[in-house]
Structure formats: C-alpha cells, structure tokens
Amino acid sequence: MTLDADFWCGKRVLLTGHTGFKGGWLALWLKKLGAFVTGIALPPNTTPNLFDLAGVAEGMSSHYCDIRDAPALAAVVRAACPEIVFHLAAQPLVRASYRDPLGTFSSNVMGTAHVLDALHKLDGVRVAVMVTTDKVYRNLEYPHPYREDDALGGHDPYSASKAASEIVISSYRDAFLSKAGVAVASARAGNVIGGGDWSPDRLIPDAVRAWQSGDPLEIRCPQATRPWQFVLEPLAGYLVLAQKLWEHPGLAGAYNFGPQTDAEVTVRELAELACAAYGSGGLIFGDASCGLHEADWLALDTVKVQVALGFAPKLALAETVSRTMAWYRAQQEGAGARGLCEAEIAAYEALKLRAVTT
C-alpha cells in the first residue's frame, strides 16, 4: 500500500491540531497531495513554532477553535463538510498533565467526544482517523511489545486521558458512526521526532534549545526505552490508513504505528546519536529522580499495520536522527522552515514504502 496522490487530490479533509508539530507537517503534506484542508486548533503555544515559521495556514482554511467548545467546533465542522477527518488536537505532554490534570482530561477526552459527536451529525464524512498515543496501554513494564488488544490504562493523567479517549472512540464507532457509513480508526503512534518541534519536556526540542544556547542537555531518565520514529513515518501511516478505510471500512479499529519491534532504544542512546549528528553540545545524565512517574519501558507491536495495511516504516533510527538534527541546523543557519519541510516530504515520498510480505 502506497500513498496515492490521485486519491487525495480534491478530497475535503478536516485536520484538528494543525498548529502543532505533527499537525503542521500533516497539513503541509495534505496540501502537497492536492487536498482541500480545513484546520481547527488553538493558536501555537511555543515561540518559535512550525505553524508560523512554515506558513502552514497558507493555502488552507485555518480556524482557531477550542475543541472543548462543542457548539463552536460543530459549526466549523459543518461548514467544512469533510470527507476525511484526522483528529490530532490534544494536550500532548505527560509532565504538563501533572500540572493540569483537569485541563488534560477536558481536552483529550471531552474534546475527542466533541469531534466525534460533530461527525455523528454530519452527512458526507467517510473516514475518521483519531490519533491517540502509544501510552494508552496499561504499562506493567513487561519486556514485550504492546498489541492493539492489550489492556488500556494510564498512571499519569496524560496516558489515562488518552486511554479514556480510546473508549470514547470505540463507543462512537460502534453506537453511531459505523451505522452511518463512517469508518473510524484510532492510531496509536510511538515517540515522534523531527524538525520543527519546540515543545517543552521533549528530548530533541530540549536538546536543540540547550545546544543552541551553549548549554549541556540534562537527561532525567537516561535508561527509559521508547519506540522513536521520524515524524513522517506515522503521518504516512495515517494517510495510508485513511485510503484503506475509504475502500474497506470493515478495517476500522485500533492500529499501532512505530518502528520495527526490535528498534527501540534508550533515551541515553538517542541523546548520544542526536549530539553526534548535531555536531556540538554536551550531555549530563541524571538518575531518574525527577519526582514524577514515567514508564521505563515501552514498545509497540506493529504486525497489524503490516498485515492489514501493507505498511512499514522506511527509515532506520540513525537516519531518523540525522534528518532531524540536519533540519534544526539548517533552520538555525537561515533556511526557511517551509522549504525544509517540503524538501523533506519530497525526499520521503521518493523512498518506496518498505515491502511487506503478508
């Protein structure tokens, strides 16, 4: 299964969270594919940010709207009359969820419910890809990759809110949307890195800020293991998933998107790769005494997307890190963010999706 520009050309697509990191990249890619894109999101909350630097709003219908405001959200959705929906809007940070648990639950659970309810009352929509996270699983720290049918849960408010949103998604799919001819899938993506992310409390953005300031990067939990992947990998997966659901709505359900099962590495290993690729900067490794619970081990089983979608990631971790740090280096040296993103998307499209035998 590969991306089909003919499929996307002229499609009406609703994208929530287009002012964020992954949402900005996806908006640029959808426009390149010829889709008519409507975006719904809060204003960017970092300076700098990809949305402004890359002119993401250009060539699309961009709306600042809080998904917690159900009437305002429904009005924009009705006006957009989408055929395909990608829901990425969320409070996406674990440590921020400790500071504001109620806001996190409001955005991630009720915000998701508001999006689904707006679709439930809309004619014309065919596919909805609801993006959650790899942290929806009840993490028992067992050394096995989590499969889509493993138990949901969450120790921290972010993980719990995303697990709860999965139940909301499943309920709306079963009770309303499948009967209305809407194929609804949840996409559970592993940790994503790539140029243009300046969110706090994320490894690569924290590293770039520190190294650009001439400071070493302090690592809280160097032995934590995560399924890192390049930003375009899960986005390609979401696009392929939407194409597949359009033709085969019976494939609606939950899907993991991450690197190959044996490709997880520790935070220490990723930080060392990033430092080498960036070409300067230091590292200070802590002892995990950060005061807040964060899972030590997390990996995803991605067999389902390989079998059901014929999809697998293209890039090894070393190339993922190299491309990411080269983006930040070039942007720091004056290259335009929009051009960097468009060149990266074109280069990624030129690579054939890895063949999968099913």
pLDDT of amino acid 291: 61
pLDDT of amino acid 356: 43
Question: Is residue 214 a part of any domain in this protein?
Answer: no
- For residue 46, what is the domain's CATH number? 3.40.50.720
Question: Is residue 206 a part of any domain in this protein?
Answer: no
| pLDDT score of 348 more than 70 | yes
Torsion of CA 210, 214, 216, 218, to 10 degrees: -20
At residue 1 the predicted structure's pLDDT band, cuts being 50, 70 and 90, is low
Question: Is residue 174 a part of any domain in this protein?
Answer: yes
Domain residue limits at 188 = 7-195+228-261+299-316
At residue 289 the predicted structure's pLDDT band, cuts being 50, 70 and 90, is low
Q: Are 218 and 286 in contact (CB under 8 A)?
A: yes
pTM of the prediction? Answer: 0.96
| pLDDT score of 354 more than 80 | no
Neighbours of 322 (CB within 10 A): 18
pLDDT of amino acid 297: 83
| pLDDT score of 149 more than 50 | yes
Q: What is the mean pLDDT of residues 181-200?
A: 96
Query: What is the count of structural domains for the chain?
Result: 1
Distance CA 5, CA 13 (A): 14
pLDDT of amino acid 195: 98
Distance CA 143, CA 183 (A): 33
pLDDT tens-digit readout, 42-63: 999 999 999 999 999 999 999 9
Strands 254-257 and 183-189: parallel
Closest CA to 187 of 169, 207, 175, 164: 169
pLDDT of amino acid 355: 41
Question: Is residue 139 a part of any domain in this protein?
Answer: yes
- Residue positions counted in the chain: 358
Q: What is the mean pLDDT of residues 321-344?
A: 98
Question: Is residue 343 a part of any domain in this protein?
Answer: no
Question: Is residue 291 a part of any domain in this protein?
Answer: no
pLDDT of amino acid 230: 97
pLDDT tens-digit readout, 66-91: 999 999 999 999 999 999 999 999 99
Question: Is residue 126 a part of any domain in this protein?
Answer: yes
Percent of the chain, pLDDT > 90?
87
